[in-house]
Amino acid sequence: MSVGVTTKAPIVEFVDVGKTFNAGTRKSFTAIEQLDFSIDDRPGVGEFISLIGPSGCGKSTVLNLIQGFSDVYPPTRGEVRIHGTKVVGPGRDRGMIFQKYSSFPHLTVLRNVAFGLEINREQLGFSDSEIEHRCMELIEKVGLAGHERKYPHQLSGGQQQRVAIARTLVLKPSIVLMDEPFSALDEPTRYDMQRLIHDLWHEVQATVFLVTHSISEAVYLGDRVWIMTPAPGRIGATFDDIVPPRAGGDPLLMQEDPGFKEAVGAVARRFSAIESSRRASEPGGE
């Protein structure tokens, strides 16, 4: 929730943003429309926003516009701003973690994690030993100590996703974008990853956007949960006061916590209402 009055520009701001793919052709499709929101900059604290919604409602489009990803950016209308400045393309201040493991297969874990630092080496002014030190610190934090000389194919899916997380966080981005990062993983591994993100992100102090299909994951990880409407996507409902998991709250044990169950139930009911209104508005719908 926006706390207090801040004079700083919001960290992320969407001003009347719309995105139509293939505009002016028969394939024209408006993924998002009139999207307006603003996230306060909370240095040293950050915030975790979970984005859920029906498939195809523009959730990834929102992340891609924040990232400035060239396949999607720019918006067809409106403006996306980071710290008050219009986004013009990708930047080191933003890091993306995808569902598919995005590591380079021919590089070791260590070299994968170092990659972003190495290509920015001149600007960052890091020596070889500083790069190695930073990478090893992150590799340890994501639970991959001892695996740093291995190649991605020698790791499990969960471990590969840990590499992707380390690769992103090593650059200390102020905004982290996660697009269904755990949906390719089996359930126990998914809980492991939720634990890891829960433990890591307070340390990272970033503003995080997580797109997920899992309402329980959205509630467990998010400070806020936003539900998008079917395309053209807008924010259909917001839950800005999600009760944080109790200290040490394990994602598996949390499933039985009455407060957690109640929060998941409330989000699920709203999600279902948004889905039903879509079905009712479809030709031949209810």
Structure tokens at 88: 């013009």
Kindly state the greatest CA–CA separation across the chain: 65
Residue choice 59, 167, 190, 198 for contact with ligand ADP (CB under 6 A): 59
User: Which segment (58-66, 91-99, 256-264, 265-273) binds ligand ADP by CB under 6 A?
Assistant: 58-66
CA–CA distance, 244 with 20 (Å, rounded to integer): 36
Torsion 68-180-199-260 (CA) sign: positive
Minimum Å gap between C-beta 60 and ligand ADP is 3
Minimum Å gap between C-beta 235 and ligand ADP is 13
Contacting ligand ADP within 217-246 (CB under 6 A) = 231
- Residue 29 touching ligand ADP (CB under 6 A): yes
CB within 8 Å of 133: residues ≥ 6 apart: none
Residue choice 7, 25, 44, 71 for contact with ligand ADP (CB under 6 A): 71
- Residue 57 touching ligand ADP (CB under 6 A): yes
Minimum Å gap between C-beta 117 and ligand ADP is 29
- Residue 89 touching ligand ADP (CB under 6 A): no
Residue choice 10, 33, 52, 60 for contact with ligand ADP (CB under 6 A): 60
53 contacts 236 by C-beta, under 8 angstroms: yes
Structure tokens at 275: 């889905």
Closest residue by Cα to residue 255 from 197, 213, 216, 199: 216
Residue choice 9, 20, 21, 126 for contact with ligand ADP (CB under 6 A): 21
Closest residue by Cα to residue 183 from 162, 156, 213: 213
Catalog residues that contact ligand ADP under the rule CB under 6 A. 21-22, 29, 31, 53, 55-61, 71-72, 231
